[in-house]
Structure formats: structure tokens, C-alpha cells
């Protein structure tokens, strides 16, 4: 049994943080699914590399540009085809898991991160356009994103909540998920056909916190994993008790924590650190290609996500004395994350505009 299947046996699903048309059509994704990959995630930066950095899409871009479509419309048409085809590859996983896994994620435009109504409308439009039950629409867990998350869940749309960095952000998102399910069931909807994950970004936390700590601090390289473990602990608290039990009795699914940004950015840390230390039941880890290869080669499989919670609480309690207000760090990371995705999205549209002009010309 390969390592990814071992993770599945422990209750963790590995999703592949990468998409490219040639990989889907050429059989690479199908091979990964056979090896144990159980989902795919995408974001504006991934699509920028795939579309602008290859000629895989040139023929399709030329055809769409010839129709007179604007760059954003061209991108949406390209992305919808990619997501639909990847979802078809993963459909057996979705069916075999009775809708628990086998998802492919597509993000709403990051430029809408502060517009609840527009985010909600685009989530609906993208979900309908892909037309597959195993698509998840990514919505950032920003203050404006939270109402759109609740409304989308209430409308029966699978949601991958992205750009979470703190327990405060997560609590708002988890509450929105539960409230959305309650609205769905009140309207006669079936909660068993709706799935959601809450994506905690991991390595970016260590990058920012480490930069604020002295070189000799014992907190360096610890806070990102501690933060994820505390989120896992909070998850077990949110999804228990009478309110959740009433939804679970109707078939509602746990909103699983998803560990994102799990590629190690500090070369002093083990390249599988954010996979090895966050393995546990009812979780997802979405890994980029290099991290997936590293984990399969030399990763360590053991249930660790619930380990050393007392230590995690203690180290978080020590942050203020070290001059770090973690909630402020998390808000900064979330805003920076939105800005990075906006920059990637705008760069992608610029590349599409240039490619369209060149190809049509």
C-alpha cells in the first residue's frame, strides 16, 4: 500500500494543488488518482502558470478570442473546461466515497473578495457552468466572504473556504457553514449532498511569525503547526453538541479542515514538515507537485494532528510577550493573500490579452 493510501486509511485525503490541461488529458491526473490522490485544487496563481506559461491553451485561446470575448471571459471558459475534465477523472472517487471526496476546486475572482453579493452570484454561476456535483467553489474567508459562504451553502453549493489563518477567522466560517446548512434543510434541501472544507494556510504563518522572532527563539518553526492543531481542536468542538447533532441526523457532513500552503518555504525545515505533522482523521492536505513527490519519497505516516495540544496552547500564550499579536498577523496574511491572488489574476488577464492579440493576428 502506497503512502497516500496509508493516509486515507488514517482518515486524511490528499488533494493535488495543481491543474493543467495537458496533465488531465495526458493521463497524469488519472495516474495520481490511482496512487491515492483524492481531489484537486486550483487558484489564480496556478492557472496563471498553466495558461500563460505553456502553449497548451493556445488553440483554445485563439478560438475564443476570435469570438470577440474579453480576457476574463476567455479565462472563465478555459478554466471551466479544465475543472470539468478534472472532475470527470475524479468522479469515481466521488461516487465510491458517496460524495465525501473526489472534488475539484475553482475560485471566484479574487477581485470580489470584499463584495459579498458579487461573490455569491459568481459562485452560483461557476457552479452551474461546470455542471458537475464534485466541483467546489473557492470563496475567501474574508469578512465579506463569510455571508457569501453561508448563502452558497444554503443554496446547495459545495464550498472550499480559502485564506484562513486564525481561529477567529475559522470560527466565523464554521458558524456560516452550520447556519447555511440550517437554511438549506429548512427549505427542504438535502444536506448530505453538500460538502465544504475550511482551508488553513500553514507555511505562510511560519514565514511571517519567524521573521518577527529572534533567531534563538524556541517559537520559530512551531506556530504554523500549532495554529493548525488548535484549528483541528476547535473543529471537534464546533461540530458536536445538539445543534450539530440535529444536522448530522439529516446527513450533514463535517466541514473538514484543509491544510493549504504546505510547501516548506524555509530551507532549514524538512520539506515534508507540513504534511508529516498534520496527519489525522477528517482532514485534507492539498499539496503542490514538489511536496507530493517529497512526501511519497521520504514522508512519515502517523496520526499527529492532535499531538501536543497543551504545548500549542502554551506557545500561543507566549506570543504576546514576544511582541506578536497573532490575530493582527492573521488579518495581514489574509489581506496579503487576497492581494497576491489579485496580482496573479491580473497578470493572467494581461497574458491572455497579449496571447489573444498575437494568435488572432
Q: How far apart are CA 66 and CA 230, in angstroms?
A: 51
Angle between helices 223-238 and 167-186 (to 10 degrees): 30
Please, which pLDDT band fits residue 359 given cuts at 50, 70 and 90?
confident
List, in sequence order, every residue forming a beta bridge with 286; answer none if it has no partner.
15
Cβ of 209: how many Cβ atoms within 10 Å? 23
Smallest CA-to-CA distance from 287 within 262, 256, 266 is with 262
Cell of 226: 500549532
Q: How far apart are CA 287 and CA 10, in angstroms?
A: 17
Q: How far apart are CA 59 and CA 32, in angstroms?
A: 27
Q: Is the pTM of this model over 0.85?
A: yes
Please, which pLDDT band fits residue 229 given cuts at 50, 70 and 90?
very high
- What b/e sequence results for 66-95 when a residue is b if at least 16 CB atoms lie within 10 Å of its CB, and e otherwise? eeebebeebbbbbbbebbbbbbebbeebbe
Nearby residues of 121 by Cβ (< 8 Å), 6 or more positions away: none
Cell of 110: 479574487
Secondary structure (DSSP) of 243-297: HHHHHHTTTPPP-EEEEE--S--STTS-TTHHHHTT--TTEEEEE-HHHHHHHHH
* Mean pLDDT score, 265-292: 96
For residue 52, what pLDDT is reported? 86
Residue 240 contacts residue 246 (beta carbons within 8 Å): no
* Mean pLDDT score, 200-216: 96
What CATH number corresponds to the domain at position 185? 3.20.20.70
Catalytic residue among 138, 265, 350, 355: 138
* Mean pLDDT score, 83-87: 98
Residue 181 contacts residue 151 (beta carbons within 8 Å): no
Residue 130 contacts residue 107 (beta carbons within 8 Å): no
**3-class secondary-structure state, position 239:** coil
Q: Half-sphere exposure of residue 45, counting CA atoms within 13 Å on the CB side?
A: 9
Residue 138 falls in the annotated catalytic set = yes
Q: What is the pLDDT of residues 17-46, one digit of tens each?
A: 999 999 999 999 999 999 999 999 999 899
For residue 360, what pLDDT is reported? 80
**3-class secondary-structure state, position 105:** strand
Cβ of 339: how many Cβ atoms within 10 Å? 12
For residue 277, what pLDDT is reported? 98
3-state helix, strand, coil in the chain (%, to 5): 60, 10, 30
**Number of domains, the chain:** 1
Angle at 229 between CA 286 and CA 342, to 5 degrees: 45
Smallest CA-to-CA distance from 292 within 27, 10, 22, 33 is with 33
Nearby residues of 256 by Cβ (< 8 Å), 6 or more positions away: 13, 196, 197, 198, 235, 282, 283, 284
Helix (H) or strand (E) holding 161: strand 159-164
Kindly report the average pLDDT of the chain as a whole number.
Answer: 96
For residue 1, what pLDDT is reported? 67
Tell me: pLDDT of 102 over 90: yes
Domain extent, residue 113, equals: 3-360
List, in sequence order, every residue forming a beta bridge with 257; answer none if it has no partner.
198
Tell me: pLDDT of 195 over 70: yes
Smallest CA-to-CA distance from 219 within 209, 229, 208 is with 209
Amino acid at each position: 500500500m502506497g503512502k497516500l493510501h496509508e493516509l486515507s486509511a488514517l482518515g486524511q485525503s490528499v488533494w493535488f494543488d495543481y491543474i493543467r490541461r495537458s496533465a488531465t488529458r495526458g493521463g497524469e491526473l488519472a495516474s495520481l488518482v490511482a496512487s491515492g490522490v483524492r481531489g484537486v485544487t486550483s487558484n489564480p496563481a496556478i492557472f496563471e502558470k498553466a495558461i500563460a506559461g505553456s502553449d497548451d491553451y493556445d488553440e483554445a485561446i485563439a478560438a475564443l478570442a476570435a469570438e470577440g470575448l474579453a480576457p476574463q471571459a476567455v479565462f472563465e471558459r478555459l478554466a471551466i473546461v479544465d475543472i470539468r475534465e478534472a472532475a470527470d477523472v475524479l468522479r469515481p472517487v466521488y461516487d465510491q466515497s458517496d460524495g465525501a471526496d473526489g472534488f475539484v476546486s475553482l475560485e471566484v475572482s479574487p477581485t470580489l473578495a470584499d463584495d459579498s453579493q458579487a461573490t455569491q452570484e459568481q459562485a452560483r454561476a461557476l457552479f452551474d457552468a461546470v455542471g458537475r456535483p464534485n466541483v467546489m467553489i473557492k470563496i475567501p474567508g474574508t469578512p465579506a466572504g463569510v455571508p457569501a459562504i453561508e448563502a452558497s451553502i444554503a443554496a446547495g453549493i459545495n464550498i472550499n473556504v480559502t485564506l484562513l489563518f486564525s481561529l477567529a477567522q475559522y470560527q466565523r466560517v464554521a458558524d456560516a457553514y452550520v447556519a447555511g446548512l440550517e437554511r438549506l434543510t429548512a427549505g427542504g434541501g438535502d444536506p448530505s449532498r453538500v460538502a465544504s472544507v475550511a482551508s488553513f494556510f500553514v507555511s505562510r504563518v511560519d514565514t511571517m511569525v519567524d521573521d518577527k522572532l529572534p533567531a534563538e527563539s524556541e517559537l520559530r518553526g512551531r506556530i504554523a503547526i500549532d495554529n493548525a492543531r488548535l484549528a483541528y481542536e476547535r473543529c471537534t468542538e464546533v461540530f458536536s453538541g445538539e445543534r450539530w447533532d440535529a444536522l448530522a441526523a439529516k446527513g450533514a457532513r463535517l466541514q473538514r479542515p484543509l491544510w493549504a500552503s504546505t510547501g516548506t518555504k524555509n530551507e532549514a525545515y524538512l520539506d515534508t514538515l507540513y504534511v508529516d505533522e498534520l496527519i489525522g482523521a477528517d482532514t485534507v492536505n492539498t499539496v503542490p507537485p514538489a511536496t507530493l513527490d517529497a512526501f511519497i519519497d521520504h514522508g512519515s505516516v502517523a496520526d499527529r494532528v492532535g499531538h501536543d495540544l497543551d504545548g500549542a496552547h502554551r506557545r500561543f500564550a507566549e506570543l504576546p510577550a514576544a511582541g506578536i499579536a497573532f490575530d493582527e498577523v492573521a488579518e495581514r496574511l489574509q489581506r496579503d493573500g487576497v492581494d497576491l491572488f489579485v496580482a496573479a489574476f491580473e497578470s493572467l488577464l494581461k497574458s491572455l490579452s497579449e496571447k489573444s492579440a498575437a494568435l488572432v493576428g
